[in-house]
Structure 1
Amino acid sequence: MSRLCERCAQLLQDFVNCVRRLSAAIMEHLKECLSALSECCCLNRRRSRVRQLYEPVLLSHERKAAQEFLKHMETGIHKSLVGKESLHAMTVLAFSEVADFQESAAMYYVFLNQNLHTQLPPEFLEPYHPLLQSSDTVVQQVASSSLLHFLLEGNVSKELIVQVGLLEDILEMMESGDPVVQYNSCSCIMTLAISESNREAIRNARGIVPLLALAKSYEPRVQQSAVGAILNLTRSEKIRGILCQEGALPVLTLLLQSADSEIQYYSCASLSNIAANQEHHKAMLAIGDKFLLRMLVSLMSSSVQKVSSQACLCLNNMASSAEVRVDLLHMDIMPLVLFLLNSSNKEVRQASITLLCTMSHSPGNLDALLCEELLQHLAMLMRMDRANPVVVIHATCTIQNLSRPETIEIIVGSQCFEELLRSLLDPNKEEESLQYVATCLAELAKSDFTRKQLIKRKDEALMRCLVRLAARLEHRELSFQAATIIKYLSHTGRIAVDLKPFMKDVQAYLMNFLSHPELRFQQMGIATLRSLCEDPEFSEAITHGRLKEQLEQVRQQTEETQALLRTVISQTDSLNLKE
């Protein structure tokens, strides 16, 4: 079973606690109710004369089922919770027109909720149809509650619920005037909508409009479950478009102002999923002249951490547009983002660094003073979450985005630069994190100032690390970026001294680069060799080694390619002249 979210887990726990408190009373009630009903000869007082002629046959059949059910509960229930006898009796009682009989069948499902620890047999879903369609509100309440419990516990396959046609019954219950029934039906849809196939089935069954209607309910729990169901539906791109067409955006935006933090969270997360597609941004920004942006910025300061985190993530999706980034800067969002970087909550820190990374793209108006303050906060975060790849990757990308001629010295002089180097040297770092760190350092190494600072360090561990990473051609991009840093450093003419202890390893990775099928690797190898050959020892080693042969082979291939190109260009020019 898919892992439940915090909201659903709490809902399930509340339900289980309630059932446990009532379990003894439920069994007693079932026995008393069925016993009395089985002996009663007049269950419905207001019947027509024609109807009364039919009653004895029907009631006799139902009384017999009730007696069998009662007998089974007293003698055989502990042997078989879901046996043929109980199924037959439940089916008869569930299809009865007598509300008390139906209620007894529904109550047995509640008993199963507490005692069944395996999958509910598919045939036991059949009695749910008449129970969910019952005209008796109590029957609908009890039946829908037990079905919800089965779904949350995983005793019933979510796909099977749709296959046997119970989805339509659940959707019809949304139109009930009873808030308990509405809540249970929305919660069932929320649980069913976890899978893509079920989301499609809900869409085809026209379940979106009723959910939007209940999202405006005055009952907080109904509203909460309806918006939770909408959130799971927004995981489908097709349904996002339909939601927008059906007017979901104004509804979800207004719900951001709800006093219920769960409703705020579900609404914010739904909008975040919708905002993942830039095609919806225009409609989202049109609501109340960018009212949505102002609400999301306000929710960043929420005391409920998951709401604050989700607001950052929604803004991050919106900020993929340069126009939105400018609007957010005018709303003075940066102090809020920097404040959240120091949050005690991991999810908030991750969400805020993700938003900061997006905001650091141009256009921006980050002056040197703000850049320096930003780097201070960023360095603190990188120290706190060194092992968190989400933080490492987004912090690294942020530094790279901030890298401009006027900010290079500020970056290299900051603690962030030290954290980048520390990350590169960390043997436990994942390949993806190392790739982003190496790419950022390669970008910084384009500057003379950065190269001078790195050469001054005479850091043997750093040189060894760069050579080792450059040799890891199985991780192609990481290898290329590490080699790029070495190439930039070799431009100074002084790095050869620091590389001499690893001369054989340098030659080995350069040999692999020269024989690599990608042209950029060959060019990188040639450019690095050209710089290193200025050192006599490297020049001697290259001249009398396999690298010389490989260079000659590359030269011949290049000449052959150039000759072919000249031939093709000449033929093309001739054809053009004839035309």
Structure 2
Amino acid sequence: MGGRGETDFFSGEPLRALSTLVFSDNVDLQRSASLTFAEITERDVREVNRDTLEPILFLLQSPDIEVQRAASAALGNLAVNTENKVAIVLLGGLTPLIRQMMSPNVEVQCNAVGCITNLATHEDNKAKIARSGALGPLTRLAKSKDMRVQRNATGALLNMTHSETDENRQQLVNAGAIPVLVQLLSSSDVDVQYYCTTALSNIAVDANNRKKLAQNENRLIQSLVNLMDSSSPKVQCQAALALRNLASDEKYQLEIVRARGLAPLLRLLQSSYLPLILSAVACIRNISIHPLNESPIIDAGFLKPLVDLLGSTDNEEIQCHAISTLRNLAASSDRNKALVLEAGAVQKCKQLVLDVPLSVQSEMTAAIAVLALSDDLKTHLLNLGVFDVLIPLTDSQSIEVQGNSAAALGNLSSKVGDYSIFIQDWTEPNGGIHGYLKRFLASGDPTFQHIAIWTLLQLLESEDKKLINLIGKSEEIVQMIKTIADKQIDSDDEGEEDGEGEVITLAQRSLQLLGQGGKSSHIEG
């Protein structure tokens, strides 16, 4: 068999010659054939047909260790090619590979698992592998003493979790993979850590799996928290993402804080590597949903770094997670609202909000609206000049941004003491408060009308004569309020009746304050 370099063994005469050796009953000839296949596939991987694959699959079934080892190496090499991945499984390659995974010989195990790892990257193969009985042996080999076998096996388990269907992940859980993956988080090998962390992160996407993890795996959170201090950025990243997925559940939101997860998350948040920042800020966003976590996160020093992230990157996802976290942190107490404001969150939003993507605008305006709920902060917010951005944004192309901006204006219009800024901004910028009220009243959208009339009522109750006079002089606004106040509620719309009824009541109250009320003629005895 001289001159292998030039010969094409994948077709014609050379392939026929090799096949003759394969199907002879002579073990030496079969060894020679299997080594040749291993060598040529090492050098040249291309799409092959069943004439090439069938002899190799036949060799896999040999009782001879040398033949098995070389044949599985050849198959693993060919399984790098996409078409071959599908063909190997269709030709029945899984059964002999599973048998080889159970071989006492470590080399044979290693090659067989490596081949399955390659086959498992193809979506068409995943369900077949899941149903073939391969997951049990793979899970057992993940605990192998041999590092190469362990790496290949955990890599295969990871590939099985990257799946479009939950079904394949479910099969993996049923095969007992979770305890093994959790145990291997404390492996000393960085690749194994990475494969297991990522696999668990994918498994944790599903709520039922999170329940299973919660019942049985008490070391999970602590191990993932420890891995956020790994020397490998990709492991740190996946550990934070796994915690993010787990923190979709309340139990885990609290547990991560208890396991001292905040300090490593803060370190990742302040790194200069974008994927690390993104995974950390996504994780802290979920953790911040729990009211009991607001103060611990603030006390751990997250406010300033979160505010800094808003302006230091133009990564939309990072900005969204950062401002959403700040809003969560301000949700429950006036103390925390004041601290979020002190950290410069509002100034930063004001500076950026007109130039960021809509998704970020929506989060920023929602955050300002939440802060504006605190009576102690209203004057401070007005003095920061938030009207300069909120008023134009009530005319945004996004319904969410319009609604959030109007809600913030509404919250700021109630019980402020000094209403001079409302007078100053009555017609400017962008049509001012007047333009905003007019637009929302004319919108025909019951929610928008409700916000506008409620805001108007706050302004009328301000007892600021100049402001009340401005409102009274706007014929358009007065006319629209009259129209709304005169509406008859259609009793067919049972569901909407409360909301609409409230809008009508607010409109009638506004007219009374404007001295245009007293129209009770609609009430029939």
CA 1:136–1:519: 2 relative to 1, 3 Å: farther
Comparing 405-414 and 521-530, the one that deviates more: 521-530
CA contact (8 A) 1:389 1:433 kept: yes
1:216 aligns with 2:143: yes
Is 1:227 the counterpart of 2:154 in the alignment?
Answer: yes
Q: How does 1:448-459 map to 2 (within 5 A)?
A: 448-458=375-385
Partner of 1:466: 390
Question: Residues of 1 paired with 2:433 and 2:481: CA distance?
Answer: 15
In structure 2, relative to structure 1, the CA distance for the partners of 1:317 and 1:225 (3 Å cut) is same
RMSD across aligned positions (CA)? 3.5
Name the residue aligned to 2:402: 479
Q: Which of 89, 109, 115 pairs up with 1:182? A: 109
| Residues in 2 aligned to 1:368 and 1:324: alpha-carbon distance in whole angstroms | 15
The residue type paired with residue 247 of structure 2 is A
Structure 1 position 410 matched with structure 2 position 333: no
Specify the alignment match of 2:271 in structure 1. Answer: 343
The farther-off stretch of 123-132 and 527-536 is 527-536
TM-score (norm 2): 0.79
**Deviation, structure 1 residue 402:** 1.1
Say whether the 8 Å CA contact 1:171–1:207 is kept in structure 2: yes
1:274-289 aligned within 5 A: 274-287=203-216
- 2:62–2:68 CA contact under 8 A, matched in 1: yes
372 and 297 in structure 1: CA distance in 2 versus 1, 3 angstrom threshold: closer
| CA contact 1:182–1:222 (8 Å) conserved in 2 | yes
Assess, with a 3 A threshold, how the Cα gap between structure 1 residues 565 and 255 changes in structure 2: closer, same or farther.
Answer: closer
Matches for 1:324-339 after TM superposition, within 5 Å: 324-339=252-267
Aligned mates of 1:81, 1:539 — CA distance in 2: 93
Q: Tell me which amino acid in the other structure corresponds to 2:411.
A: Y
Give 1:135's match in structure 2, choosing from 63, 69, 78: 63
TM (normalized to structure 1)? 0.73
Please state how far the C-alpha of 1:253 moved relative to its aligned partner. Answer: 1.9
Say yes or no: does 1:358 pair with 2:286: yes
Deviation at 1:201, TM superposition (A): 0.7
The residue number in structure 2 matching 1:200 is 127
Is the alpha carbon distance of 1:329 and 1:137 closer, same or farther for their aligned partners in structure 2, counting shifts above 3 Å?
Answer: same
1:488 matched residue in structure 2: 411
Q: Tell me the CA shift for residue 223 of structure 1.
A: 0.7
Q: Say if 2:67 is the partner of 1:96.
A: no
**Residue in structure 2 matched with residue 27 of structure 1 by the alignment:** none
| CA deviation map 1:31-55 (0-9, x unaligned) | 27xxxxxxxxxxxxxxxxxxxxxxx
Q: Structure 2 stretches of 5 or more lacking a match? A: 461-466, 499-525
**Structure-1 separation of matches of 2:274 and 2:372:** 32
How far did 1:469 drift?
Answer: 3.5
Instruction: Provide the aligned length of Structure 1 versus Structure 2.
Output: 482
Cα distance, 1:260 vs. partner?
0.7
Bigger shift: 221-230 or 414-423?
Answer: 414-423
Whether the aligned pair in 2 keeps the contact of 1:234 and 1:274 (CA below 8 Å) is yes
User: Deviations along 1:61-100, whole A, 9 cap, x unmatched?
Assistant: xxxxxxxxx8xx86xx4xx674444444443333333345
Post-superposition offset of 1:107: 2.4
Which of residues 149, 161, 170 in structure 2 aligns to 1:241? 170
How far does residue 520 in structure 1 lie from its aligned partner after superposition?
Answer: 1.7
Cα distance in 2 for residues equivalent to 1:516 and 1:101: 85
Taking every aligned residue pair, what percent have the same amino acid on both sides? Answer: 27
Q: Deviations over 1:267-293 (max 9, x none)?
A: 2222222233343345434447x2222
Note if 1:524 corresponds to 2:495: no
The 1:109–1:413 alpha-carbon spacing in structure 2 relative to 1, beyond 3 Å, is: same
- Cα 1:230–1:553, aligned 2, differ >3 Å: closer, same or farther? farther
Q: Structure 1, unaligned stretches of length 5 or more?
A: 1-29, 33-69, 570-579
Cross-structure match for 2:234: 306
2:2 paired residue number: 31
Separation (CA, whole Å) in 2 of partners of 1:163 and 1:510: 67
- Give the counterpart letter for 2:268 in structure 1: L
Partner residue, 2:200: 271
Q: Contact 1:480–1:521 (CA<8 Å) still a contact in 2?
A: yes
1:167 CA drift (Å): 2.8
Matching residue's letter, 2:393: L
Distance 2:122 2:448 in 1: 44
Q: Give the helix-richer structure, 1 or 2.
A: 1
Contact 1:471–1:508 (8 Å) recurs in 2: no
Number of the residue aligned with 1:167: 94
Cα displacement (A) at 1:209: 0.4
Alpha-carbon distance change, 367 to 93 in structure 1, aligned in 2, over 3 angstroms = same
Q: CA deviation at 1:411?
A: 1.1
Cross-structure match for 2:490: 561
| Deviation for aligned residue 1:208 | 0.8
1:423-442 aligned at under 5 Å gives the runs 423-425=352-354, 427=355, 429-442=356-369
Q: Aligned to 2:353, what secondary structure does the other structure show?
A: helix
Equivalent residue of 1:127, what SS? helix
Contact 2:250 2:290 in 1 (8 A): yes
**Residues 319 and 358 of structure 1 are in contact (CA less than 8 Å); yes or no, is this contact kept in structure 2?**
yes
Cα deviation digits, residues 542-573 of structure 1 (max 9, x gap):
x24xx6776666556x424258659x99xxxx
Task: Tell me the CA shift for residue 532 of structure 1.
Answer: 7.0
Amino acid in structure 1 at the alignment position of 2:394: A
